[in-house]
Amino acid sequence: MEDEKCGCGGEETVKRPLEDDTEENSECCGPPQGRGVDCGDEASPEDLGCCEGPVEVKMGCCSASEPTKKDMAGGKETLLAAGGCCTEDGPQEDGCCSEAGPQEDAGCGCGCGGDFPDESLINNPVKPESIADPDFFDQLEQYAQLMGIVQIGYTHVTSELVNSKEHPQYLHAIVLTYQMGQDIIETPPGPEAQELNNATYTKLGRINYALSDFIRSRGFATQVAHPYGGLLNFSPLGQKAGLGWIGQSGLLISPELGPRMKISAILTSIENLPLKEPEDYSWIPDYCAVCGKCIKACPEEAMVEKESCCGMELEFIESRCIGCSQGCTYCIEECPFDKKGYQPVKIKFDKMNVKLAEKRSKDN
Ligand code: SF4
Ligand code: SF4
């Protein structure tokens, strides 16, 4: 009845029957990618000149070549041979990519949400185009995938997705996800984990700048939302772009990556983004309601369950989270979507619900 008072629909609060059978499951949340995380300043650009190609673009601290159609058709090897030295493979031994990484922003307790200078090499056109043809999006997606982007989605930015006082220049967003490496997951919180974490943000930032240059070279304008910056609230942005759903941990969970991802975005003047109908992720909150492994895994008790008129609600206390400042990933490690994968979790949950429904109908 209390539920009706606050208009929550009075749905039954599910307890945690998965407690036993999620022993081998695990892994959720993660460094607070979607929590306004991210800090500091990027390393200042310095083109060390190791990459030469037909059209040179710069990805943060290093230069690379924008691939031609032929390069893209040849796949990653051809792309790298053409000069794409700083892709997801990171720094080369010849020092092409310095790995200085973001510095902590002294104004933020957790070291997150700093401003980043736009390190795109190509300036925005004076009169940007606003309509792109389908070929453009095909090329953009191919280029993004060759550089290690796993998912690409599109959405329009609304005010609740803006995380900073800075006003976004464009409200059309290209949203990108990038996989976090196993090394980060396996390294306990501390300076080493933070360094690995920062390096991942830096790599994704460079990819953003390269894609920004690609888009600008086609006559459109962009504003890079660096993954370590505080301009946008990335998890809700990813959810709105149809890339996944936010789990109890506050992190985006996707079929491709579970919660093990970094998210970034490029805001653009392109108005006719190819918005896609997302798949049905509505079961994820139901699963989280019976799992709760990320809450138990958090060493800082950053996720606190509180009683409300709608049942138990989860409050995330950002100041406690050490995901950004120390590279903590315990809530990722314990999330079943990371340990088992998205589809196995879904299949198991569907089966459990069928059994529960059968039991209920027998009891009635
Ligand atoms: S409740 Fe479970 S499934 Fe949901 S985010 Fe946390 S660990 Fe992952
Ligand atoms: S401190 Fe807690 S919420 Fe933050 S990353 Fe670690 S486990 Fe996740």
pLDDT more than 70, % of the chain: 69
Distance of CA 324 from the midpoint of ligand 2 (Å): 9
318-321: Cβ within 8 A, 24+ apart: 318/32, 318/35, 318/36, 318/110, 319/109, 319/110, 321/32, 321/35, 321/110
Per DSSP, what are the bridge partners of residue 65? Answer: 56
Burial class, 102, CB count within 10 angstroms (exposed 0-12 / middle 13-18 / buried 19+): buried
**What integer best gives the mean pLDDT of the chain?**
76
Integer-rounded Cα radius of gyration of the chain: 21
Residue 292 Cα: closest atom of ligand 1: 1
Of 62-76, 87-101, 135-149, give the lowest mean pLDDT range. Answer: 87-101
**For residue range 68-80, what is the model confidence (pLDDT) as tens digits?**
445 444 444 443 3
**For residue range 320-363, what is the model confidence (pLDDT) as tens digits?**
999 988 999 999 999 999 999 999 999 999 999 999 989 888 88
Euclidean distance between CA atoms 345 and 183, whole angstroms: 24
**For residue range 266-315, what is the model confidence (pLDDT) as tens digits?**
999 999 999 998 889 999 999 999 999 999 999 999 999 888 887 778 88
Residue nearest to ligand 2 atom 6, measured at CA: 328
Euclidean distance between CA atoms 347 and 115, whole angstroms: 42
Find out whether 67 and 141 touch, Cβ atoms under 8 Å: no
Query: 335: Cβ below 6 Å to ligand 1?
Result: yes
Q: pLDDT higher for 67 or 334? A: 334
Distance of CA 36 from the midpoint of ligand 2 (Å): 14
Which residue is listed with tokens 């993004």? 144
Kindly provide the b/e burial profile for residues 185-212, where b requires at least 16 CB atoms within 10 angstroms of the residue's own CB: bebebeeebbebbbbbbbbbbbbbbbbb
Residue 32 Cα: closest atom of ligand 2: 5
Distance of CA 189 from the midpoint of ligand 1 (Å): 20
**For residue range 201-225, what is the model confidence (pLDDT) as tens digits?**
999 999 999 999 999 999 999 999 9
Mutation to probe ligand 2, out of 37, 187, 321, 338 (largest number of atoms < 8 A from CB): 321
Residue nearest to ligand 2 atom 1, measured at CA: 321
Question: Which amino acids bring their CB within 6 angstroms of ligand 2?
Answer: 29-32, 297-298, 300, 302-303, 321-323, 328, 330-331
Residue nearest to ligand 1 atom 6, measured at CA: 294
Distance of CA 229 from the midpoint of ligand 2 (Å): 19
**Structure token digits, residue 92:** 């080369």
For residue 237, which of 41, 40, 38, 33 has the smallest C-alpha distance?
A: 33
Q: Which ligand lies nearest to the CA atom of residue 247 in the structure?
A: 1
Kindly indicate the confidence band of residue 173, based on its pLDDT and cuts at 50, 70 and 90.
very high
- Segment 181-199 mean pLDDT: 96
Per DSSP, what are the bridge partners of residue 172? Answer: 156, 268
For residue 189, which of 31, 32, 327 has the smallest C-alpha distance?
A: 327
